[in-house]
Amino acid sequence: MGCDFLIVNAYDRMVLARIEKDRLLDVQAINLLAGELLKLVDRHPKISLVIDCEAVTALSSAMLGKLVALVKQVKACKGRMVLAGVNAKIMPLFQVTKLDKVLDFAPTAQEAIGNYRRKPL
C-alpha cells in the first residue's frame, strides 16, 4: 500500500519529499511514511533528500525514531538529508531530544534545494 500523504519529486539524486499530513501520531501512518522514505534512499544512491515538513504540526516519539533510522540509512549510503519548514510548534521536540544536533534543518524546501544545488555531492 502506498503512502497517499507523501508527494515525491525526484530529479537525479535530488529528491523532494513533501509530507501532506498535519499530525504524525498514528502508528500505521508513521510506519507507512517511514517505509516510503527508506525506499527513496534505496532507489537513489547518494541521495540529497529534502523532506518538506511544513504541514506537520504534531509528531510522536515513534516518528522521531523513524527519522533517526532514516538519517542513518541516508548517511550509510553516502547521501544527505534535511528537514525543511519545520513548524515552530514541533521544533522543541527536536531540541529536548537533542535531535537538533543529529538532523539538519532548513527554513524552506526551496532554500534547502538551493543549498544542495550549490554544493553537489
Partner 1 sequence: MTPWSVQPGPAPCLGEVILHRQWPSRLDVKDEIIAVLSAALLDRGWVLSDDEPWLALCLDEVVVNAMLHGNEGDPYLTIDVHLFQHQDRWCLHVADHGEGFSPAQVPDSEDPDSLLLEHGRGIRIMSEWLDRLTFYRNGATAVLERRIEPTIAKEPHGL
Q: Going by C-beta distance under 8 Å and a sequence separation of 6 or more, which residues neighbour residue 29?
A: 3, 5, 21
Please report, for residues 14, 29, 53, the alpha-carbon distance to residue 22 in angstroms, rounded to integers and kept in the order given: 24, 12, 9
| Number of amino acids touching partner 1 (CB under 8 A) | 25
From 1-9, 41-49, 60-68, 110-118, span contacting partner 1 (CB under 8 A): 60-68
| Footprint (CB under 8 A) of partner 1, residues 69-98 | 69, 72, 89-90, 92-93, 96-98
Q: How far apart are CA 44 and CA 23, in angstroms?
A: 27
11 binds partner 1 (CB under 8 A): no
Q: How far apart are CA 108 and CA 30, in angstroms?
A: 22
From 2-10, 43-51, 56-64, 108-116, span contacting partner 1 (CB under 8 A): 56-64
Binding stretches for partner 1 (CB under 8 A): 25-28, 57-58, 60-62, 64-66, 68-69, 72, 89-90, 92-93, 96-99, 101-102
